[in-house]
Chain A
Amino acid sequence: MLVAQGRWDEVSKQSPERTFYRAKQPDPDIPLTFALTKTLLLRAAPLGAILLLVACRATAGDVAAKAPLRWGGDAEGGAPFVEADASDPSRVRGFDVEIADLIARGLDRRPQFIQVAWASIAQSVERGDFDIGLSGIEDRPEVRERQSLTMPYFEFREVLAVRPVDRDRFRTLSDLAGRRVATLGSTTAYQILLDEQARAKVIPVSYDDDVHPYTDLVAGRVDAVLLDHIIAERRLRVLGGFVIQPEPVATGHYVGVLAKANVALRDSVNTILRERMRDGSLERIFRSWDVWDDAQARYFARMLADTTVGAARNPSTGATSALSYLPSLVRAAGVTLALSLLSMLLAVTFGTAVAAGRVYGSAFVRGALTVYVEVVRGTPVLLQLFVIYYGLSGVVRLPAFLAAVIGLGLNYAAYESEIYRAALEAIPRSQLEAARTLGLSEGQILRLVRGPQALRLALAPMTNDFVALLKDSSLVSVITVVELTKQTAIYAANIGSWVVPGILCALVYLSLSLPLSRLARRLERRWSLT
């Protein structure tokens, strides 16, 4: 399971066409001899050992004649699931990679890896981007409702990680009333936290990756992290500075996900998984990745004893109804609105000061403010948010919402200041001279004559900016603020469809931005008539 540390490279992540195994597979329609020739030619290509392997297999059996088994996973999730091989980034490794190989071998097909963002795997497989998704995918009712799932091949435990000093204080979720508990969005763990929000009064904090919850735990921004034990243990080895509570909060299972209609392949895969569970192949894989333990052995034994497991389970295991998401959507809309209003207030205030400084200030002040404006306008707001929230956390540990307001506010202040500066400079000199001959001071002229006239000019571009800010506020989900877009994404991931959440979300954004545009048009009309 898991995901990227940074999101600005998500564009590349979301391209499901990016294949990691470079070996071009012969088209099944091409005659075998031609395919073999092509394969032999490929052997000459300097593509490394994997190509040799592929080619050898192709000549040994007739595997090449069959379409490859395209399987989707997220290499940014990292080990032990799927990670890019450090020695050859075009290859992936991990237990999910080996399970995919196992399945492909059982099907007499060759595995072909398709990179896809972890949160999109279920939707991507339904679209037909690949045959099966394997990347620490959890068996969740919402997914079971929308897609076909294989039998579970691994049982994980949802465990709490806390700072060492809290070892005895925060043992269970009930101990964490009023505390911030971090996890990865769109997971079983997040659903557990949402349920506990009402019961145990914990405050769920959702992240887009599984690294920052632990760094923020160590930094004191959150009080606990709830995630899969293999993620927690890996982070503990790499990062340290926290402890894992022995008592699991819940258990869950990793499964493969297929398109709803692809029941035939699902059944074949189940047969293979069950056989490999029985013959110890799966255990060998998990042992080699150091995730095998007694609990897993007991789980395997249970699975093999129960012949009904693995056949399609009753899918009606209560997927949360679409309506139940409405209150959280409304709350998220409130967050978006509050965030936008506060950020705009900061942007207008600070932007006015910057504009005044650039028009009236000394050469030094003008220079410094010009640097500020150019740096802020010349770098992505996403980067600025990361720097303010994570980069500065060694100096000042801002709460996420405050960091979001400051990040967006300071970013938009740069744009606002340019609008105001242009508007101030557009006021005719004769207006200012008339004010001077009447004995008004420079400050009074700015406040009573130049400012009010400039405001009328700035109004239309300001409205544009505010509407843009309203939408840009969705970026702050990268620093754990759940606003409208993020909530919609969670909603969509949970019910497995973007149609209803997308329309609802769009309606809310429009209902916030349209009145604003109307108000601005009315003010403009009134002022232009005078």
Chain B
Amino acid sequence: MEPHVTTHTLTVRGLCATRGSTPVLRGVDLDIASGEICALMGVSGAGKSTVLRAIAALQPFSEGGIVVDGFALQPGPVPPESRLRPLRRKVGFVFQAHSLFEHLTVMDNLTLAPMHAQRWTRERAQEVAKGLLETLGVAARSGAYPRQLSGGEAQRVAIARALALDPHLLLMDEPTSALDPARRGALGETLSALAKQGRGLLIATHDVDFAQDHADRVAVLAHGVLVEHGPAHDVLANPTHAATRALLQATKVSP
């Protein structure tokens, strides 16, 4: 994996989005460098998921621009899937609920897209999938169906599936919400390893401890505006904005 140290994997400028007539994002700027883990923080409803979905072209935005590894998204309706093919290879998305395909085994979940969207042979797709499942420690479950997996296993399979096309940018929505503390640590180590391979990781979370331990940088969203942005230690140790302090306050209650 070639590390992309010089360029930004993701550039977001002046991103505005609305839900109906209500503004959800009001001018968000964000950069992710290769090999960097950025935690996008904020209370529920702050707009974290909307940022992720706009970057993955799952929803339209009204103003601003997004560039992923040279691929630009414009304001307006989401382009047809045929024009998004380059983006799909560059961006991996891990959903909060995993969204594994219920009717397919773990192995088939991983090989579906490479075989059908990328026209890989079954052998190649399975070889890559096996490698990813091993790296993530779930190789033994490759014949299982999603319903037979534990929450942690399902999440690692979902990460493996998102990595099958070797994306430069990995988006994750609340990855720790269903994990116990031990699993949280393991996930952090996995993500650090992925970043070391040269990927950019943007992780929407309100888990302060997780951000503190594993993120390089933290961006705090409040009411659709980026209120604080900087190295994880600085932001979380010396919060300057009320929203960040409220976030810290809320999580300090539960250890």
Interface residues, chain A, CB within 8 Å of chain B? 428, 430-431, 433-442, 444, 448-449, 452-453, 456, 527, 530
Q: Which residue of B lies closest to A527 (CB)?
A: B103
- Kindly identify which residue among A431, A435, A448 contacts B102, using a CB–CB cutoff of 8 Å: A431
Q: A437-B56, A437-B88 are in contact. Are A449 and B101 (CB under 8 A)?
A: yes
Q: A431-B102, A453-B102 are in contact. Are A438 and B161 (CB under 8 A)?
A: yes
Q: Which residue of A lies closest to B78 (CB)?
A: A436
- Residue in B56, B81, B118, B148 whose Cβ sees the most chain A Cβ within 10 Å: B81
The answer to whether B117 and A437 touch across the interface, beta carbons within 8 angstroms, is no
The answer to whether B82 and A441 touch across the interface, beta carbons within 8 angstroms, is yes
Min CB distance B164 to A, Å, is 8
A-chain residues with CB within 8 Å of residue B84 when the two chains form the complex: 439
* B43 in the interface (beta carbon within 8 A): no
The answer to whether B103 and A441 touch across the interface, beta carbons within 8 angstroms, is no
Min CB distance A450 to B, Å, is 10
Q: A433-B58, A444-B117, A448-B116 are in contact. Are A439 and B89 (CB under 8 A)?
A: yes
Interface flags, B145-172, vs A, CB<8A=1, else 0: 1011000000000000110110000000
* B85 in the interface (beta carbon within 8 A): yes
Q: Which residue of B lies closest to A428 (CB)?
A: B99
The answer to whether A430 and B97 touch across the interface, beta carbons within 8 angstroms, is yes
Q: A437-B56, A437-B88 are in contact. Are A442 and B97 (CB under 8 A)?
A: no
Bound CA span A430–B97, Å:
8
The answer to whether B103 and A440 touch across the interface, beta carbons within 8 angstroms, is no
Interface flags, B105-133, vs A, CB<8A=1, else 0: 00000001100111000000000000000
The answer to whether A439 and B118 touch across the interface, beta carbons within 8 angstroms, is yes
The answer to whether B147 and A530 touch across the interface, beta carbons within 8 angstroms, is yes
Q: Which residue of B lies closest to A449 (CB)?
A: B101
Min CB distance A82 to B, Å, is 63
A-chain residues with CB within 8 Å of residue B113 when the two chains form the complex: 435, 438-440
- Residue in B91, B100, B101, B145 whose Cβ sees the most chain A Cβ within 10 Å: B101
- Kindly identify which residue among B89, B103, B116 contacts A530, using a CB–CB cutoff of 8 Å: B103
- Kindly identify which residue among B85, B95, B165 contacts A433, using a CB–CB cutoff of 8 Å: B95
The answer to whether B82 and A438 touch across the interface, beta carbons within 8 angstroms, is no
The answer to whether B91 and A437 touch across the interface, beta carbons within 8 angstroms, is yes
Min CB distance A528 to B, Å, is 9
B-chain residues with CB within 8 Å of residue A436 when the two chains form the complex: 58, 81, 88
Min CB distance A209 to B, Å, is 51
The answer to whether B116 and A440 touch across the interface, beta carbons within 8 angstroms, is yes
Q: A433-B99, A439-B85 are in contact. Are A530 and B145 (CB under 8 A)?
A: yes
The answer to whether A440 and B147 touch across the interface, beta carbons within 8 angstroms, is no
Q: List 27 A-B contacts (CB under 8 A).
A: A430-B95, A430-B99, A431-B102, A433-B93, A433-B99, A434-B101, A435-B101, A436-B58, A436-B81, A437-B56, A437-B88, A438-B117, A438-B165, A439-B117, A439-B165, A440-B117, A441-B82, A441-B117, A444-B116, A444-B117, A448-B116, A449-B101, A453-B101, A453-B103, A527-B103, A530-B102, A530-B103
Q: Which residue of A lies closest to B161 (CB)?
A: A438
The answer to whether A448 and B82 touch across the interface, beta carbons within 8 angstroms, is no
* B92 in the interface (beta carbon within 8 A): yes
Q: Which residue of A lies closest to B88 (CB)?
A: A439
B-chain residues with CB within 8 Å of residue A438 when the two chains form the complex: 88, 112-113, 117, 161-162, 164-165
B-chain residues with CB within 8 Å of residue A444 when the two chains form the complex: 116-117
A-chain residues with CB within 8 Å of residue B88 when the two chains form the complex: 436-439
B-chain residues with CB within 8 Å of residue A439 when the two chains form the complex: 81, 84-85, 88-89, 113, 117-118, 165
Min CB distance A393 to B, Å, is 46
Min CB distance B21 to A, Å, is 22
Q: A434-B93, A434-B99, A438-B117 are in contact. Are A448 and B165 (CB under 8 A)?
A: no
A-chain residues with CB within 8 Å of residue B145 when the two chains form the complex: 530
Q: What 14 additional pairs, Cβ within 8 angstroms, besides A433-B58, A438-B117?
A: A430-B95, A430-B99, A431-B102, A434-B93, A438-B164, A439-B84, A439-B165, A440-B113, A440-B116, A441-B117, A448-B112, A448-B116, A453-B103, A530-B145
Min CB distance A43 to B, Å, is 79
B-chain residues with CB within 8 Å of residue A441 when the two chains form the complex: 81-82, 117
- Kindly identify which residue among A437, A442, A530 contacts B58, using a CB–CB cutoff of 8 Å: A437
